[in-house]
Amino acid sequence: MKKQQTLVLIKPDGLKKSLTGNILTKLSETRLRIVGAKVVCVNEELAKKHYQHLTDKPFFEELKNYIMGKIHGKEYQRVLALVYQGENAITKVRELAGATNPEEAVSTSIRGAYGRITTKGVYENVIHTSGTLTEAEREIKLWFRPEEITTNLYPIVKTKDKIKWETSYDNVKL
Ligand code: IDP
Ligand code: MG
């Protein structure tokens, strides 16, 4: 099995509930390597691009506000973004994260243990993890610049003053 990378986001509710340590400890069970990490203030453009596959859902507006931290107070308008790398990284991390709906997630999974559904119906499931190889590539390129990752799996282009991803899938209409 080839090396994979996957994007993990600890969402604003995860930061508000001081779950960062617990989540990273849980993810360390995978023995995967962290190759990128940073704290990000999510603006509307990034939120829309990240959730581009859900733009026509009735909960999209709430979802956008959730990932932007708007429902958790000003000091929680941030997420912790990480890239994990290793064999089968996508499935390994997703298994520990648990099902999308925190009430259906196994109780020992991250979402099962720490997630909730708000009265407005948003799944506050504390963590995002890429679902497929295509998603992982799109999401990693959306959240990270090549020089922010210690090992690049995806081709980059170096110009005189810039390093860019060779291809991106940043095709959402805003
Ligand atoms: P995933 O995060 O498990 O990959 P996606 O379908 O990609 O699931 O959805 C992205 C996020 O949108 C979820 O993590 C959750 O926060 C929210 N979401 C997905 N489906 C629903 C739903 O049916 N009701 C409310 N929120 C949802
Ligand atoms: Mg998804």
Q: Which residues line ligand 1 (CB under 6 A)?
A: 54, 59, 63, 100, 121-123, 125, 128, 131
Residue 107's CB: how many other CB atoms inside 10 A?
Answer: 9
Quote the ligand 2 centre to 38 CA distance (angstroms): 20
The pLDDT tens digits of the residues spanning 111-152 come to 999 999 999 899 999 999 999 999 999 999 999 999 999 999
Half-sphere exposure of 2 (CA within 13 A, CB side): 5
Q: What ranges in 54-132 are assigned the alpha helix state H? A: 60-67, 89-97, 110-114
Neighbours of ion ligand 2 (CB under 5 A): 131
User: Which of the listed residues 52, 63, 106, 127 should we mutate to test ligand 1's pocket, taking the one with most ligand atoms within 8 A of CB?
Assistant: 63
pTM: 0.96
Amino acid in the structure at residue 160: K
The pLDDT tens digits of the residues spanning 70-81 come to 988 888 899 999
Domains of the chain with bracketed CATH: 3-144 (3.30.70.141)
| DSSP SS3 for 16 | helix
Quote the ligand 1 centre to 42 CA distance (angstroms): 17
Model confidence at 17: pLDDT above 90: yes
Would residue 72 show up in a list of annotated catalytic residues for this protein? no
Model confidence at 173: pLDDT above 70: no
Token couple for 153: 């799996």
Quote the ligand 1 centre to 100 CA distance (angstroms): 6
Q: Which residue, among 100, 64, 71, has the nearest Cα to 174 in the 3D structure?
A: 64
Residue 128's CB: how many other CB atoms inside 10 A?
Answer: 19
Read off φ and ψ for residue 58, nearest 5 degrees.
Answer: -65, -25
Ligand nearest to the CA of 135: 2
Nearest CA to ligand 1 atom 4: 131
Q: How far is CA 109 from the centre of its chain?
A: 16
Q: How far is CA 1 from the centre of its chain?
A: 23
Ligand nearest to the CA of 127: 1
Q: What ranges in 11-59 are assigned the alpha helix state H? A: 12-16, 20-28, 44-50
- Determine the pLDDT at residue 129: 98
**In angstroms, rounded to a whole number, what is the distance separating the alpha carbons of residues 44 and 96?**
28
CB-based contact 34:84 (threshold 8 Å)? yes
